[in-house]
A = this chain, B = another copy of it.
Amino acid sequence: MPKTPPGQTRNRVFRFVRDRLLRGDSPSLREVQQHFGFRAVETVRAHLTALVEEGRLVKEPGRARGYRLPKRQPKRLSAPVPDWSSGRLQPVPLLGEVAAGGFEEAIENPEGNLPVEIPDSRDLSDYFALRVRGESMSGAGILPGDTVIVERRGKPVSGQIVVALLEEDATVKRLHLGQHGMELRPENPDFDTLRPPPGSCRILGRVVELRRQIR
């Protein structure tokens, strides 16, 4: 390995390690060494130690494959940008289209997981994902086949888009709370507002993110 300009190799090492960490797989020093063709492990360790000092990585001491991404990325400045990449990246279970009975069972046995960034203050178990069926929320830009990420927690708040478990399965609707009790309003004139009798409906959580794969 020839000597390279200052910082150049360091950045390449960082990107390599970061990408591996984003995939949930911390590399060993020797794996990094092999990838770059260094002839000494120590070269890698020097780079990683430097990256830790620069705050670009953190390390859990005394354990193999202990490098991690720092809790918070260096901050962005522009105003109302969606808050991607501020929290921890966590695999949230994708439950599919859950029917009433199968909810707890689906949690235990998800169709898969998808990487979602959640705030530090929340726990992974507060989140799950569902696939949307039906057109009832198409007016809010939520289409059949979309995947919604749901945060379950706290009291339901009027006006939020929620996932409700009623009758036989889960539906996405906008929640309204008034004197007449709970209303689940679709966002599509072809559908009717639901007014479930008290006790017949359970709010699983509120929709915090939407994802759609196209083609």
Contacts and interface: CB of A to CB of B under 8 A. Distances in A.
Interface of A: 18-19, 22-24, 26, 28, 63-65, 69, 72-76, 78, 80-85, 88-91, 93-94, 96-97, 109-115, 117, 124, 131, 138, 141-143, 145-147, 160-161, 206-215
In the complex, the 8 A-B pairs of residues with the closest C-beta atoms, listed nearest first: A24-B24, A210-B212, A84-B114, A141-B141, A64-B64, A82-B213, A141-B143, A23-B89
Chain A binding surface, main DSSP class: loop
A76 B112 contact: yes
Contact of A111 (B69, B81, B114, B212): B81
**Identical subunits present:** 2
Contacts of A81: 96, 111-112, 131
Given A213-B209, A215-B208, A91 B138 contact: no
A85 B64 contact: no
A124 B76 contact: no
Contact of A73 (B112, B138, B160, B215): B112
Contacts of A145: 80, 82
A90 B80 CA distance: 24
Given A76-B96, A91-B22, A147 B214 contact: no
A214 B138 contact: no
Contact of A209 (B73, B74, B161, B212): B212
A84 B147 contact: yes
A213 B94 CA distance: 17
Contacts of A211: 82, 209-212
A19 to B, nearest CB: 6
A145 to B, nearest CB: 6
Nearest to A71: B112
A83 B213 contact: yes
Nearest to A31: B63
Contacts of A141: 138, 141-143, 146, 212
A207 B78 CA distance: 22
